[in-house]
Structure 1
Amino acid sequence: MVTAQTPLNLFGTDDLVNAEDRAIALAVRKYVDDNVRPHIAGWFESATIPARELAKELGDLGVLGMHLEGYGCAGTSATAYGLACLELEAGDSGLRSLVSVQGSLAMFAIWRSGSEEQKNEWLPRMAAGDAIGCFGLTEPDFGSNPAGMRTSARRDGDDWVLNGSKMWITNGSVADVAVVWARTDDGIRGFVVPTETPGFSAPEIKQKLSLRASVTSELVFEDVRLPGSAMLPEARGLSGPLSCLNEARYGIVFGALGAARDCLDTAIAYSLDRMIFDKPLAAYQATQLKFADMTLELGKGMLLALHLGRLKDAGKLSSDQVSLGKLNNVRESIAIARECRTVLGANGISLEYPVLRHANNLESVLTYEGTSEIHQLVIGRAVTGQEAFR
């Protein structure tokens, strides 16, 4: 009998991560095992999540805005942040989404483009999990084409008046602050909007079949009056929100692999216990062929993610390279989740096992932060020099 290895051990990926980053990943894994796994199936089934309690716990763990410097943020490496996303999404994509939106979208926008007043007011509280943020870019009719947004902000004396709506906004209904992008006479600008401001509302989106353990909302702005100081001074044009999306996509490169790893680990363990014709399901060639292909794609994705992490830590990562990672790793992760479901047979559709929950969640991950087709076109543009979006 050969001693079994975990899929990623075959690739020796632990040896590619330094001790500090590995310790961070293990701490996040333990948090997920202790605090998320016992409850996640129930949260998914009931389409609820204790977002505020989790935000505080995640703040105490140090993962909110963990790769940012100063203002109460941990200042870890980009690789450590990626590994944390992997461990969070091994629990559930909704959990990683909460952290991604908080740190890589809302906090990053303020950290990169905000005034010192905005940074000092919000970032320490958000890093601690005492305040939750959301990020308002996508609109009902403008997803892949954010340049078409209709939400507007107009000057009224020293103030801004915000009108419009945003759609599919993670954390929206529980957020204390929203970073909102709007059209102005000076082009697209970002605004820091406390959610208690009159005229702001965030009705929660119900009847989801994916990301059920996550708060998803519409944002509505009806003559929301903001002081002049609410504008992000260093963000001008679409480069502002797109730079934030690039941060979030980077986390997804790692995160999706967490869901895939959890599915594959579950399927292997199940196949060893499941007896068919007096021997384990794992002992059949057809099963092992599936596991071999899935192990290969998981390991290749992990090697790609770690390489992109090194590039990001060296300040050399481009948005085109992030598209490579997002396209490949999400596409392969959802394929792994679906194949693992077949290994579990009828049990694969039960919430007793995480596989179909992960597959359903990855349907959302596949299309948010840029659809697969958009990332294909980004890569196509990079290798041909030709624009083909229109």
Structure 2
Amino acid sequence: MEECIMSVDPHQHQRSSALTRVSIRSLPFEVLLAIFKIVYADSASTFNGVETCLRDRYVAPGEPQADSPPSDGSIPIPLVDPRAGDPIIDPLSHTNFPYSVASVCTQWRDIVLTEPIFWASPIITVGACRPLFEPTSQSHFELSRDYFLDIKIVCREELSASQPSSEQADVMALLPYIYKVFHRCNSISFHLNRSSSLPSLARHFGTVMWNLEHVELRCKIDDGRNTLPAPCHCHAKKGFSCTWSLVVDGHNLKDLIKYPGERRGLRRLGLLSDIVISGYSASASEPDPLSLYDMLKALEDVGIMRLTLQNIDLDLAVPATVSKPNVRLLGMRAVSFEDLSGDLIDAAFGFALDLVANTRITRCSLPRSKIRTRHLTLEAINKEENLHSFLLSRWRGRALSVKDCPQFNDTPSGTVT
């Protein structure tokens, strides 16, 4: 057998190693796209517990797949003056990722245009703090093609209730754009300053087909309800809701509960499991203010599992037409109270929440009546509150968690039952 002898030229090895170093711009399309997907997955924000990069595409029955965007070097994202009224993309959001990559060179721009997932989580800014030049949300919706959307509308203005703002007008101008893509929205969230700027679930979204898993309507200032009519007729098909999670202000909830024709409003959210009610103050001048009893009674028909009440002031009186207040929230597993009065917590347990398995009380006054809950969590309770007296005389349960309550020590906790 002949012996094979191989010689290695060290200079040749060095030359071949040098040849393997290439610029990132020289990488093939497939490699660059894979890199961009990894970067997006790392930077994608978690929206309601679901990574935006893991969404599915929406294709309506009988609809053809959307055509790919042009790859002739022109990015179809018009830059507009927001003073013309066009909604715009928040430059502080993670959606900056595709724009920053697209601005490097024509090749990279063409690559990110082929991946609609990069454009499926627009964050739209309303109010005076909008940047001067940014791509329109309409273009963003087009670039996402047939993917489900997670839309977030925010206002970064820091205003008092008396200061003027274009927030409401901007939101109403935005709604027609949202109507066109509502059929493929996975979630929609409004984080605004004023309750009067929030759209009405009953009037503005009442005829839209609900594919939404999460709806969020939050505000900082309670200045009443939005009384404006829907800006245009929505032609979306009616359908059953598959909304699982709802964050709603008190005025929107009142619309769904009290106004004629909307008494079954919460029932159409048939799969609703979590609801957060936030930002409402019952006013003596308000006709027929929302009461705690009416709210809990309306939730009776929905079968929710988790209820959170945040920073609300409800009428605690029982309606005169009700002789025996009785609310049966049979599926309720957990309730959370945040920034509430002890009287409201007392009334809630008195109406419906006795024997709820898990209760969390955060930054609230402690209730004066006895409560029964298997697992109680107390967080950031006012230092003036006597935690030990409350636990020994007014709580019956099995597990206790205490967080950020410096007045608490576990010396007498062995007697808690």
Same fold (TM over 0.5): no
Flag the structure with higher helix content: 1
Larger radius of gyration: 2
- Taking structure 2 as the reference length, the TM-score comes to 0.20
Flag the structure with higher strand content: 2
Higher relative contact order (CA 8 A, sep 6+): 1
- Taking structure 1 as the reference length, the TM-score comes to 0.21
